[in-house]
């Protein structure tokens, strides 16, 4: 008969502990709390009404706050996740990166935070306020309402060097790559970029496309010939590069499907927008959005769904996050 192998019980326990620890580490993300509806409950039952009231007063004071806060939410989520790090101030914070210099609406989030700190001290994160405010501004601009899961924490780090956002001349291939890295698919890409139905861009961002596209001496051939002189008159070669032009010509303040129609008609202002129509990977999605009997209702539903997905990118939990007292607290 074979002999029985001797073993040390302490070694077995240590081995078991090591295996369990490794398994827990591997799967810990499956057990971390995720944003959910009704998160604050009685701890801050009126969080949504407080944010909505602040948003309404700021929208009626300046409707440009709507695309400003929507864009801010996008820029926040695409850099280190939806953690309100875009709000942190400081000499090298995300706010100082070139793509973020034209952001507006910081005061809106801070105003809502101030009121919530009175009603529910150290309870509601700036990241949740930004998610709610983006939704409420879209609604006021004529867009859809969608339920916003809450329970994010605020990030502790904000660095300009981390800012890497989709750009105004990006191809569909590059945009798809950047969206895929955030677990967003091609439909999410088209639907979220269509948020450009409200908002503006500075002439310096796209002017060459209407005068000297890729050093050809001519405008981008995908632009409708009737649209070229319209933009050239708004953005002359020697004009102020900071002059703002609406991204959805004819409907720049209204959240609707006019933006998609403009793409179909070669009237997209940004190259990264117009390629959504010319690229075979995205054109069928635009066509589908426009081809339904009630395109706005379908677009609105899909926009809310994609915004919900985006708002849960790389959220902070546990020791990775905090609840700030002041949203723009100086970045340490």
Q: Any idea which residues carry the catalytic annotation? A: 75
- Annotated ligand binding at 218? The verdict is no
Residue whose C-alpha is closest to residue 326's, from 151, 109, 76: 109
- Annotated ligand binding at 76? The verdict is yes
Q: Residue 70 is inside which H or E element, if any?
A: helix 65-77
- Annotated ligand binding at 154? The verdict is no
Tokens 């908002």 found at = 199
Strands 154-155 and 200-202: unpaired
- Annotated ligand binding at 85? The verdict is yes
CA distances 77 to 34, 159, 308, 313, Å, are: 15, 14, 11, 6
- Annotated ligand binding at 252? The verdict is no
- Annotated ligand binding at 257? The verdict is no
- Annotated ligand binding at 2? The verdict is no
Q: Is 270 left (phi over 0), alpha (psi -120 to 50) or beta?
A: beta
User: Do 133 and 69 touch, CB atoms closer than 8 A?
Assistant: yes
Q: How far apart are CA 145 and CA 171, in angstroms?
A: 30
- Annotated ligand binding at 248? The verdict is yes
- Annotated ligand binding at 266? The verdict is no
- Annotated ligand binding at 83? The verdict is yes
Q: What is the DSSP letter of 257?
A: S
Q: Annotated binding site: which residue ranges?
A: 76, 79, 81, 83, 85, 94, 166, 196-197, 248, 256
Q: Annotated binding site for heme b: which residue ranges?
A: 196
Q: Annotated binding site for Ca(2+): which residue ranges?
A: 76, 79, 81, 83, 85, 94, 197, 248, 256
Q: Annotated binding site for substrate: which residue ranges?
A: 166
């Amino acid at each position: 008969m074979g002999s029985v192998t001797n073993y040390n019980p302490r070694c077995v326990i240590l081995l078991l502990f090591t295996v369990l620890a490794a398994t827990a580490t591997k799967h810990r993300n499956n057990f971390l709390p995720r944003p959910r509806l009704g998160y604050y409950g009685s701890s801050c039952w009126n969080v949504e009404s407080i944010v909505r009231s602040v948003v309404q007063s700021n929208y009626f004071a300046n409707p440009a706050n709507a695309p400003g806060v929507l864009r801010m939410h996008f820029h926040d989520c695409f850099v280190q996740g939806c953690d309100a790090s875009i709000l942190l101030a400081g000499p090298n914070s995300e706010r100082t990166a070139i793509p973020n210099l034209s952001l507006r609406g910081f005061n809106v989030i801070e105003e809502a935070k101030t009121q919530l700190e009175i009603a529910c001290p150290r309870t509601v994160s700036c990241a949740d306020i930004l998610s709610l405010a983006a939704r409420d501004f879209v609604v006021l601009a004529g867009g859809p309402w969608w339920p916003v899961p809450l329970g994010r924490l605020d990030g502790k780090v904000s660095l300009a060097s981390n800012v890497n956002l989709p750009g105004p001349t990006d191809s569909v291939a590059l945009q798809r790559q950047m969206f895929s890295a955030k677990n967003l698919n091609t439909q999410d890409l088209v639907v979220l970029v269509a948020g450009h139905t409200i908002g503006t861009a500075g002439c310096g961002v796209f002017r060459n496309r209407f005068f000297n596209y890729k050093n050809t001496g001519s405008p981008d051939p995908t632009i409708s010939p009737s649209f070229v002189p319209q933009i050239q008159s708004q953005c002359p070669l020697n004009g102020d590069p900071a002059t703002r032009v609406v991204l959805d010509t004819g409907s720049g303040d209204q959240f609707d499907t006019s933006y998609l129609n403009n793409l179909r008609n070669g009237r997209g202002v940004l190259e990264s927008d117009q390629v959504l129509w010319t690229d075979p990977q995205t054109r069928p999605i635009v066509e589908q959005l426009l081809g339904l009997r009630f395109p706005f209702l379908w677009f609105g539903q899909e926009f809310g769904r994609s915004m919900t997905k985006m708002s849960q990118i790389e959220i902070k939990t546990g020791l990775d996050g905090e609840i700030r007292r002041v949203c723009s607290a100086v970045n340490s």
